[in-house]
Amino acid sequence: MMSGAIVKTDFNFPGQMSVYKGKVRDVYNISDKYLVMVVSDRISAFDVVLPEGIPYKGQVLNQIASWFLDIAKETVPTWKIAVPDPNVTVGFRCEPYPVEMIVRGYLTGSSWRLYKSGVREICGIPLPEGMKEHQRFDKPIITPTTKAEQGKHDQDISAEEIISSGLVPEAEYRKLEDIAMKLFLKGSEVASAHGLILVDTKYEFGRRNGEIYLIDEIHTPDSSRYFYAEGYEERFARGEQQKQLSKEFVREWLMDNGFQGREGEKVPHMSPELVMQISERYIELYENITGMKFIKADAGDPLHRIEENVGRFLAEAR
């Protein structure tokens, strides 16, 4: 654990039934009623968890998601109940839908790579000829993916395939589309107020008591891509890359050092200076996205802090 970075958790909370450990988040199931989501300081790129933790990264992601979950409550019920610790959200356990809703406002990232290769339809949505990288769509599009098992890639899927295969009933799927679009438009408004463009993002939904709930994270730099609004038009007109607010800079550093997650490639050495630079960039992301000053949590013994805070919350929630 470097500089108090949380790279591994192994809690045993009261009522704990199971734990799911993802690339970044460790999710503890409490009595099949609540989920305790601990956002670690692990960082992944190219589907690989990098060897060093990034101090305060988990706090940044957790607090951005929590802030946006509160805003989202105007549109849809959310899984969030409380944030008992800077790195932890506790929420309702919901039955997740087997698809992720990806909303794209711009032709960039994987959608641009497909388009550049000659593809003119993504997830059943036709795209016009003559588009350029980072070009804004006339209106945002939804390009869902299946939720893959751990270690496997999500697969693009069309709305028609989701409905015809019975993955999600049609009436529910159309509701998911409607909610996802409303969340994206609201997120775009918030971003615009802070001089940013919400380029694309993903939403995950679940069912609870027969109702649709927004689950997991929302509008964080790990699940979303942001451009700086200032200079977007000029850069686009010149065919230049956009100034991004995401973890793209980490991927670029890895690529510059010969790593893209391919077989036989070795993760380059992450110096303490690089780790602190990445930490500072994440704090900058928080302050730019929320417009608020980031207050660092006590990093002396973060695992003990989390255990005490969550234990206290669960005792009071009984």
Do 233 and 266 reside in the same domain of the chain?
A: no
List per-residue pLDDT tens for the chain, 318 residues long.
445 899 999 999 999 999 999 999 999 999 999 999 999 999 998 889 999 999 999 999 999 999 999 999 999 999 999 999 999 999 999 999 999 999 999 999 889 999 999 999 999 999 999 999 999 999 999 999 998 665 556 789 999 999 999 999 999 999 999 999 999 999 999 999 999 999 999 999 999 999 999 999 999 988 999 999 999 999 999 999 999 887 878 888 999 999 998 999 999 999 999 999 999 989 998 999 999 999 999 988 999 999 999 999 999 987
Question: For residue 198, what are the domain limits?
Answer: 96-245
Q: Is there a domain that residue 176 lies in?
A: yes
Query: What's the start-to-end Cα distance of the chain, in Å?
Result: 33
> Is 3 part of any domain?
no
Burial of 199 (0-12, 13-18, 19+ CB in 10 A): buried
Q: At 97, phi and psi to the nearest 5?
A: -70, 150
Q: Looking only at Cα atoms, what is the longest distance across the chain?
A: 59
Contact 51, 7 (CB under 8 A): no
Structural domain contains residue 10: no
Q: Are residues 143 and 275 in the same domain?
A: no
Residues 235 and 110 both lie in one domain: yes
- CATH number for the domain that contains residue 21: 3.30.200.20
Global confidence as pTM: 0.92
Where residue 206 sits, what CATH number does that domain have?
A: 3.30.470.20
Mapped onto helix, strand or coil, the DSSP state of residue 230 is: coil
* CA dist., res. 113 & res. 108, Å (int): 8
For 21-57, give the DSSP string. Answer: E-SSEEEEEETTTEEEEEE-S--EETTEE-SS--TTH
pLDDT of residue 152: 54
DSSP 246: S
Q: Both 126 and 267 in a single domain?
A: no
Residue 110 lies inside a defined structural domain of this protein: yes
DSSP secondary structure of 124-140: TEE--TT--TTEEEEEE
In a domain, 11, yes or no: no
Task: Say how many residues make up the chain.
Answer: 318
For residue 9, being part of any structural domain is answered with: no
Together in a domain, 204 and 164: yes
Q: E strand or H helix at 231, and its extent?
A: none
- Residues 222, 265 share a domain: no
Among 245, 267, 299, give the residue marking a domain's end. 245
- 216 and 170: one domain? yes
Determine, yes or no, domain membership for 40: yes
* Last residue of one domain, picked from the residues 221, 245, 269: 245
Do 152 and 236 reside in the same domain of the chain?
A: yes
Hey, how many other C-beta atoms are within 10 angstroms of the C-beta on 249?
Answer: 13
Torsional sign, CA 148, 68, 307, 13: negative
Helices (H) and strands (E) in the chain, counts: 8, 17
Residues 79 and 90 in one domain: yes
Q: What's the total number of domains in the chain?
A: 2
Could you say which of 245, 262, 283 is where a domain stops? 245
Same domain, 235 and 113: yes
Sequence-ordered list of residues with C-beta below 8 angstroms from that of 45, at least 6 positions apart, any chain: 247, 250, 251, 254, 261
- By the 8 A CB rule, do 87 and 59 touch? yes
121 located within any domain: yes
The Cα angle at residue 76 between residues 74 and 78, in degrees rounded to 5? 105
Residues 120 and 205 in one domain: yes
* Same domain, residue pair 207 and 103: yes
Check residue 109 and give its pLDDT.
87
